[in-house]
Amino acid sequence: MASSKNNTMVFLFLLVTLLIGSSSAQLSTSFYSKSCPKLYQTVKSTVQSAIKKETRMGASLLRLFFHDCFVNGCDGSLLLDDTSSFTGEKRAAPNVNSVRGFEVIDNIKSAVEKACPGVVSCADILAVTARDSVVILGGPNWNVKLGRRDARTASQGAANSSIPAPTFNLNRLISSFSAVGLSTKDMVALSGAHTIGQARCTTFRARIYNETNSIDSSFARTRQNSCPRNSGSGDNNLAPLDLQTPSKFDNNYFKNLVNKKGLLHSDQQLFNGVSADSIVRSYINNPSSFNSDFVTAMIKMGDIRPLTGSNGEIRKNCRRRN
């Protein structure tokens, strides 16, 4: 009898331990409610200042979260600088001379460290910053799930292979998003983030000169004025991803696609006579549907392979490991 009782106690202990471990691995919208109650106001004030200084920064901060989550999960790995013994993700093809806003993240981290030292991860700062950027530019709000920890490593190779390219066709876009657990609808909704921000000439040059059947001719000519045909000339010249309201988070991006005015090849692929067309039309006809699906997709993206519990670390400086 004693042996049976002991076995029962051991089983209950293991069950409780398992449940505690499981719950610690779950993200929560109230994760920092006691350990860092001023987190949200601290992040938002810094994001507001950055966007007030340069409106484009909102799109750049949102993009940082996207490029981080698609490479081995939302773990802040994108923020790590290269060192003599470590190669990070910043110089990967999709990121070099492209992703930006790292100084803003530094400022946010510094402010958060003053409010609650050693508590909030850089990965979670990216998640909150992305949400705040959308809201400040007129987009929907949502409760951000938190509790991620920071990676101690990064992968330039994974960044090169995992982040969808502006040259991708629809099938490759669907495959890239599917690989991280996101559906076609999630993909179209998240692509709607291109309602804000700008792109470099190098990312859309081939489209405006070569894709005559899928691009509005006057739109192409307008873009050609600031993006010369020859590589090496005007490579870094910028053009708005959303022709109509490039600084406002709305559904005009999708209206542009129907009119063959998607800036990137990957943009126009969302409306090219096949499977994604109906989703694009639904977002044009029902902006609230776009906002709702965008929020759902952002939350799902934030759930991609987070480090939780005792995994990873809480970096003191987002650019380097502790």
Residue 61 burial class via C-beta count within 10 angstroms: exposed 0-12, middle 13-18, buried 19 and up:
buried
What are the residue numbers of the active site? Answer: 67
- At 103-128, the pLDDT tens digits run 999 999 999 999 999 999 999 999 99
Backbone φ, ψ for residue 197 (5° rounding):
95, 180
The whole-number pLDDT of residue 15 equals 44
293 is in an annotated binding site: no
DSSP SS3 for 72: coil
303 is in an annotated binding site: no
The whole-number pLDDT of residue 274 equals 86
195 is in an annotated binding site: yes
- At 252-270, the pLDDT tens digits run 999 999 999 999 999 999 9
Mean pLDDT to the nearest integer, 236-260: 97
75 is in an annotated binding site: yes
Mean pLDDT to the nearest integer, 177-188: 98
Output the average pLDDT for the chain.
Answer: 93
Task: Looking at 117-200, list the stretches that DSSP marks H as alpha helix, in order from N- to C-terminal side.
Answer: 122-136, 156-162, 170-178, 184-191
Task: Assign 5 a pLDDT band (cuts: 50, 70, 90).
Answer: very low
306 is in an annotated binding site: no
- At 220-232, the pLDDT tens digits run 999 999 999 999 9
Which has the higher per-residue pLDDT, 22 or 299? 299
Residue 146 pLDDT > 60: yes
DSSP per residue, 258-315: HTT--SSHHHHTTSSSSTTHHHHHHHHH-HHHHHHHHHHHHHHHHTSS-B-TTSSB--
